[in-house]
Copies of this chain bind each other. A is one copy, B any other.
Amino acid sequence: MSGRPRARALGVTFDGEPGPNNGITDVPGVLVGFRTLIRGQGPLRVGEGPVRTGITAILPRPHAEVLTPVFAGFFRMNGNGELTGAHMIEEVGQLALPITLTNTHACGITRDATIEWARRALPGALDATWALPVAAETYDGFLNDINGGHVTASETLAAIEGARPGLVEEGSVGGGTGMISFEFKAGTGSASRRVALGDSAYTVGVLVQANFGRRRNLVVRGHPLGRRLPTAPGEGPWGPPPSAAPAGDAPEKSSIVGVVATDAPLLPHQLGRLARRMPLGVAWTGGLAYHTSGDLFLAFSTANPAALTARDGALARAEFVLDTHLNPLFDATVQATEEAILNALVAAEPMTGRDGHFVPALPHDAVRRLFA
């Protein structure tokens, strides 16, 4: 692990009780892998670099079981982004295979490579199941040689192969490597919550790839920090803002992709409800789904594997949480989404990318002061 700080280390207080890793991997069986591609500096030469990108792989189940579907739901808060596999999720309420997150010009590659991985790693298995994997993206062209083809099939396979349980790296790692939020360096963040329902306890885990938001809108646990921070070079003690607006006069190609996992047994339509609440956590940090953003949210449950692989007869049985007990899961989803975004911001260090483009880090002191 990177040893990078997380929001709680700066004194930020949150609602709810996190799991041991405070990450999506607290959901048993969920694995996360990264390939972080950072190479070169100086002027952009397409195909050479500088490279500031990567791939995040989320496995809903361990490698050997990843063809066993999970019930899933999807929500489009704002559609200017890509997340493949969504038609299938809305139709059959399931997904299988690893999920990949990367940059906007490469999620096709990671999608197809995920099929290739399954074919190689689990011979014969694809014959009897879907090959419509989820691959999503946010835009890193301000820092990265996004047209250079640096995200490849083999890097995708490596990200998937390397997926593991435990602490989740955050900040400028994997698909989040070149990402920016609130005009600060951001990227990958994760968090989790424990939820007691009846006699059982479940976990809700979130992973975000955060690449959205205007600095003026940044809110940290109710504190409007963004409007107190400088927005022009030399204005304050926390370093300059990004060296240029992320995309000049061009569309601001910002986005957030959020994935919520749980071991609570939920049916597809219930998972859609979880996904639909993730933007409320985004709103708590100041994200308002601006026009150019692709704000796409996915939810899955690892429960009911037997129901999802049943082949004997025509029927199966699925367990599900009664609707009257869903609110604690909604709370957990919103809370973990908020914390995952702040973790992405806190963990990320300043980065200089292509053409000398610079993005500062969120000033930790400013955050600490709020909670002193």
Contacts and interface: CB of A to CB of B under 8 A. Distances in A.
B86 A80 contact: no
A148 to B, nearest CB: 10
Given A109-B108, A313-B198, A132 B288 contact: no
B111 A108 contact: yes
A290 B327 CA distance: 6
Interface string A225-261: 0000000000000000000000111110000000000
Interface in A99-158: 104-113, 115-116, 119, 127-132, 135, 147
B91 A79 contact: yes
A82 B85 contact: yes
Given A279-B280, A315-B319, A82 B132 contact: yes
Contact of A78 (B82, B91, B110): B91
A316 B319 contact: yes
A331 interface: yes
A325 B320 contact: no
A81 B161 CA distance: 26
Contacts of A45: none
Interface in A314-352: 314-327, 330-331, 334
The 3 closest A-B pairs by CB, nearest first: A79-B91, A222-B222, A108-B108
